[in-house]
Amino acid sequence: MNGEHARGRLVLQLSDPHFGTEQPAVVEALQRLVAKLVPDLVVLSGDITQRATAAQFEAASRFTSGLNAPVLVVPGNHDIPLLNLGLRMLAPYARHRRAFGAELEPSYETPELLVLGVNTTRAWRHKDGEVSAAQVERVAQRLRGAASGQLRIVVTHQPVAVTLERDQANLLHGAGAAVRSWSEAGADLILGGHIHLPYVLALHELTPGLARRIWAVQAGTALSSRVRHEAPNSVNLIRCEPQGQARCTVERWDWVAAARSFMAVSRHELRLERPPAHGSQPLPIGGYPGTPGQVVQGWFR
C-alpha cells in the first residue's frame, strides 16, 4: 500500500460562495487552505454567484481554475438570472455552462469515491429546489452500480434535512422520496448548502424505515459576506478512509478573522453502512471510535 492510498482521499466541500459578495481576505485564506490540504476533489454545492452575472461567473471561474484540484460544480438558485426574465426562461444556465461546462449534473469516480451531482434548481421557482422522480432514479441507478470500496456522495443545493423550524421552507421538494431511494441504493452522504448553516445529521435516525445509515452534510457559505449571524464562513473537509474502512470523517473549517485563516473547529466521525470485512469484528454499537455524529470541539489538525 503506497502512502497516498493509506492517507485515504480528501473531498473539500465549498458552498454558496456567492461571487459578487465574496470577501477578498477570505478568498485568499481559502486559496491557501486548498494549497495546504491538496484535496482530491473540490465540490461546489451551488450559489456560486450572487446574481448570475457574466462578471460574477468569470470571477468564480478564475477562482476554481486556480485551485489546482478537480472541481465538481452544481448550480444553486442564485446561479439563474433573477431579474432578466428572458434569460431566466430561455437560457437559465447559459452563463453557468460558459463558466463550468455544459454538464449540470457532473459526476466524479475513482476506486475510492463516487460523487454524483444533482441539479435541484428550477427556473420557474424563485429559490425553492426540487428533485424529480427521474433524477432520483438516475442517481439511484449509479449508486446501485457502486464498487464496495467507494464512499458514495450525492450533491444537491437545497438541504434534504434541516435543524431549525424557520428552515423548513428551504427543504428540497422531493427530499423524502430521494433520501429513501438513495439510502436503499447505497448512498453514504448527501451534501447540500443554500441556508448558510453547517451541520451533520443522521438521516437514518430522523427518518423512520430507512434501512441503511445515511448522513446529511450541510456547508455554510465559503466566501460570502451573507453569513448567518450564528455561523461564520466555513467549508467542510471529508476524509474518506482507505478502502474497506466503514467510516469517514467530516471536519468543519471556519474562517477565523483574528487569524486571517480557516481553522478546523469540529469533527464528526461518521459510521458507514458496510458489511464487516472477512475475519474482522463488526464495529461496536455506538460507532468508531466514539459516538457516530459526535462533534469533537476544539479539534485541530
Contact residues for Fe ion, defined by CB under 5 A: 16, 47, 76-77, 194
- CB nearer Fe ion, residue 76 or residue 198: 76
CB of 255 to Fe ion, least distance (A): 16
CB of 266 to Fe ion, least distance (A): 21
Residue with smaller CB distance to Fe ion, 8 or 75:
75
Residue in 26, 17, 11 with CA at minimum distance from that of residue 113: 11
Nearest approach, Cβ of 223 to Fe ion (angstroms)? 11
266 near 299, Cβ under 8 Å? yes
**CA 212/CA 225 separation, integer angstroms:** 38
**CA dihedral sign of residues 53, 55, 58, 60:** negative
The C-alpha torsion from 26 through 262 and 200 to 40, rounded to 10°, is: 90
CB of 75 to Fe ion, least distance (A): 9
Indicate the residue among 77 and 183 with the shorter CB distance to Fe ion: 77
Closest approach of Cβ 220 to Fe ion, in Å?
10
Closest listed residue to residue 157, CA positions, set 41, 44, 278, 31: 44
Q: In terms of CB distance, is 16 or 40 closer to Fe ion?
A: 16
Cα 214 from Cα 199, distance rounded (Å) = 14
Residue 46 Cβ, how far from Fe ion at the closest point, in Å?
6
Q: Look up residue 260 and give its amino acid.
A: R
Residue 42 and residue 68: Cα distance in Å, rounded?
Answer: 10
Q: Collect all residues with Cβ–Cβ distance below 8 Å to 53 and sequence separation of at least 6.
A: 20, 95
Whole-number minimum distance, CB 50 to Fe ion, in Å? Answer: 9
Q: Which is nearer to Fe ion, 170 or 207 (CB)?
A: 170
Distance CA 150, CA 230 (A): 34
3-state secondary structure of 239: strand
Closer by beta carbon to Fe ion, 16 or else 269: 16
Instruction: Give the nearer residue to Fe ion in terms of CB position, either 47 or 269.
Output: 47
Q: What are phi and psi of 94, to 5 degrees?
A: -60, -45
Q: Where does residue 133 rank: exposed (0-12), middle (13-18), buried (19+ CB within 10 A)? A: exposed
